[in-house]
């Protein structure tokens, strides 16, 4: 359904993004932010899914500043490789990869109001985007690794945020998700009886019921704020 395009950030950096065009009535745009595994088949499928629901979906390759063409699976070796790439991007001088996300937001504006959603590391970037970037109308981080820490929880979102967490997530203890909810009373926080990565049907942690419920809530949230 989708295709690869090139986008240019404000600093002139050119990078690839996966673009899935909306089917039927155009409801707006969404930026889909990858996990630590690149814009792989799962992330492309997520973008295609939102396109099928009427959204222009843009998935920028947020590893491109440190390594091109990353597409990993979910083995232990892939997790190690992805974690190293994430660390490399996080170690870039500020503002790091945020200009690339801003370029994706700007591209998605052609479809109307824009939301951003992301998974794992992409969830963290979604949270930062909600607090720091322009042109957004909504943000939906899924189990954003690191976003429940004190420094991230102290940020102030500029748009409505719906945050999904897993109760059995060993990398994001549920106590920290609940503390985040108290620190951010304006954020809608949903906690599921599921593990980290519950939305990904290519991972052992996939939880069909939690994934379906989170997606239903996400679509309603997007319709409310992008419609």
Give per-residue pLDDT as tens, 149-158.
999 999 999 9
Confidence of residue 1 (pLDDT cuts 50, 70, 90): confident
Strands of the sheet with 14-20, listed across from one edge: 3-8, 14-20, 55-60, 28-33, 114-119, 138-142, 162-166, 188-192
Residues classed as catalytic: 120, 169, 196
| Residue 155: Cβ-neighbour burial (10 angstroms; 0-12, 13-18, 19+) | middle
Percent of the chain predicted with pLDDT > 70? 100
| 34-61: average pLDDT | 98
Q: What is the pLDDT of residue 92?
A: 98
Q: What SS3 string covers 5-60?
A: EEEECCCCCEEEEEEECCCCCCCEEEEEECCCCECCHHHHHHHHHHHHCCEEEEEE
Q: What is the pLDDT of residue 227?
A: 82
pLDDT tens figures, 144-197:
999 999 999 999 999 999 999 999 999 999 999 999 999 999 999 999 999 999
The structural domains of the chain, with segments of one domain joined by +, span: 3-226
How far is 110 from 67, CA to CA, in rounded Å? Answer: 29
What's the CATH number of domain 3-226, 3.40.50.1820, 3.30.450.40, 3.40.630.10, 1.10.357.10? 3.40.50.1820
Would the pLDDT of 204 be above 80?
A: yes
DSSP summary character for residue 110? G
């Amino acid at each position: 359904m989708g295709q690869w395009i090139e986008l240019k950030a404000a600093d002139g950096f050119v990078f690839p993004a996966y673009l899935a065009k909306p089917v039927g009535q155009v409801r707006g745009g969404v930026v889909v932010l990858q996990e630590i595994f690149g814009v792989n088949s799962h992330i492309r499928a997520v973008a295609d899914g939102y396109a099928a629901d009427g959204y222009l979906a843009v998935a920028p390759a947020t590893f491109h500043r440190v390594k091109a063409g990353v597409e990993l699976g979910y083995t232990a070796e892939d997790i190690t490789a992805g974690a190293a790439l994430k660390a490399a991007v996080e170690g870039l001088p500020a503002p790091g990869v945020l200009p690339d996300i801003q370029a994706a937001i700007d591209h998605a504006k052609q479809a109307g109001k824009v939301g951003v959603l992301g998974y794992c590391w992409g969830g963290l970037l979604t949270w930062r985007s909600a607090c720091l970037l322009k042109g957004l109308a909504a943000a939906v981080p899924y189990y954003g690794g690191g976003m429940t820490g004190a420094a991230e929880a102290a940020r102030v979102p500029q748009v409505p945020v719906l945050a999904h967490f897993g109760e059995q997530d060993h990398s994001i203890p549920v106590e920290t998700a609940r503390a985040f909810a108290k620190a951010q009373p304006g954020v809608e926080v949903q906690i599921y009886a599921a593990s980290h990565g519950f939305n990904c049907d290519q991972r052992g942690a996939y939880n069909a019921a939690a994934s379906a419920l989170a997606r239903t809530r996400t679509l309603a949230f997007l319709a409310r704020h992008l419609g």
